[in-house]
Chains A and B, each alone.
Chain A
Amino acid sequence: MTAPATEAASSPLCARLDQVSKLFGSFAALRQVSVDLEPGRCYVLIGENGAGKSTLLRILAGLLRPSHGNVHVFGNNDPHDARARIGYMSHAPMLYDELTAQENLRYFASLYPERACLEPAAALRMVGLDPDLPRTLGQYSQGMRQRTSLARVLLPVPELLLLDEPFSNMDVESARQMVELLAGFRHSSRTIVITTHQRELAAPIADWVLALRAGRVASFEHGSPTL
């Protein structure tokens, strides 16, 4: 089963996966997945471990190349060409342990010279962290690192947010705050793709719920967003 992919390539889609497969040796992590991502929508990817969720996100981010099929992101045949417009958050914080949260964010902000980035302190406040904390990231709790990682992703105000398990290591209240924050981004026509095992946490912003099973699209259903 695939998500409907009927629009022309020139349509204002945020991203399109067309019959995408990804092989690691003889193991097929993704099998002929076709999905269209529209602007201003939130897509929630669910599935068991090894279903291909993270692989799908990494292909959309341009960090992996598909073995077969085509990927278009913002009209580019190679997502890598659109990387300034994509924000990718992994399981790992993707930040330096030896720097403070603000130093980490300042470092990444200065690598986006052509984008109007958020102020690092403002980005940290958005995710509920104190920007003046003198501690280095290595002394943060897992949840705080996760929030700093989200602040890094939000920094260049990307048009496509790819969030891999953003609620892991987070208490329920923090996860709700994060969902409210993401709802604001969705309302400003930004596309969000979230992989999660905690479907109920993402439900308030889920326009579509895409279930993956053994690398294939098992179902693609409308969500019932409330935010």
Chain B
Amino acid sequence: MLHNIAEGFAALFTLENILFLVLGTLVGLIIGALPGLTGNMAIALMVPITYTMSATTGLTFLTAIYCSSIFGGSISAILLGIPGTISSFATTLDGYPMAKQGKAGMALGISTISSVFGGLFSAIILMFLTTVLAEFALKFGPAEYFAVAILGLSCIASIGGKSITKGLLSGFIGLFFAIIGQDPQNGIKRFTFGSIDLLSGVTLVAALIGIFGIISVLKNAEKKTKENGPIPDVDHVWIGWKMCRKLLPTWLRGSIIGTIVGIIPGAGTNVATFLAYDTENKINRTKPKFGEGNPKGIAAPEAANNGVTGGSMVPLLALGVPGNATSALFLGALLLKGLTTGPVLFSEHADVAYSLFLAFFFANVIMAPLGLFILRYMKKILSVPEALLGGIILAFCVTGVFSISSSPFDVLTCIFFGILGYAFYKFDIPTAPLIVCLVLGSMAESNLRQALVANKNSYSFLYTHPVALIVLIISAVSFFVPIISKAVKSARKMRHPDEVKASDLAEETTEEMDDD
């Protein structure tokens, strides 16, 4: 093992590799930060370029892009309120409010260090536990996936804001949009109205950018308040040791959730961020509340989404099974180099395998200084007059969406969801449940259908698979507890209206206790 790590070091530390490590990190940061442009896209474009490089250099380059693009997504999430990638959606919930309170530097600092923590955590797991964990991942079947998707969906009850009814309404509208497209099991076209563009469903990234980007432009145009005003100032970004100590438990939980979800093939970064955010939301006892700029609301999803990076490599390297779209691209790059994945990689190309592990490690390490360095100038790059900002955001959004697959229809999707989101805003309906359901709806559906096929159309798998059963019970708890606690609270308010008025503090305290 130590010998292999030493060999990996020797292979990784050449001038060329370090150059590409830095270059890849920069590329990833910038691409991740631009709404619509994803790390996946960058890696897909770079795979053919790596063909002329040595295996180690190529993989190092791709690794650096992968890790830093996930982090980069949080920059626009915090500064503009538009997630640069879907995986930084949860970061907007607390990051943007925090930035608007004038603590943009702090928010970015938290996201940087949380990302690095999550990334390093998963890199270490990847290095030491790959072969053990891969076996566990294979045992995850459709029944278990379905349960995980339901767990992700269950958080809509707690992120829906003040009104449960409006939160659920938003969620159901999201589920409706998730069923558009061809039925995954029998090919029947649902709500496609004869359009080929809708056959594979609503393009997620386009919808998401519409909901965040277009709305912020419309809000800005509508009123001259400072609410969606200029990009917040980035002051000093170092968050201090005290904050680090405070966030450590959040980081650990986020990293563990991220790494585990990453290891399960096909579960994806998005579920991980929702789960991590919701977990922290439920156990949080500190002020301010989640959704109003709580540092933990940034730390949890950012540690989780970078935790996924290392985790998603586990099934790929150990079994040759890519866990998500990005690791599928890594598989392509490995194959182009004539390398096979699986145990053979470790026995025959230990230097390549271990230099890849180390690349994951160091990509996360240099991400912090490079990120902080870029952040200083980010503000300058984006410092345009307030009145022009809307137009610039719109241009970013539209070009970003168009670049997904050069499809004008995606741009229409983006505009449609922008208007839908604006209507939501007008009626004070939260958009977060809509997004969660849109992202996870089809995962829940196709895995349910697959599980039914595997079980000869019997629903018995819901209680015969222990993992699925446990996850489903947790989901039920996670879904109903916030609803019940809110109902109890409003009942109490009805009975003792004076008591509540008497002291806001008292109410806040009961609320925190109810959250348990």
**A and B: real partners?**
no
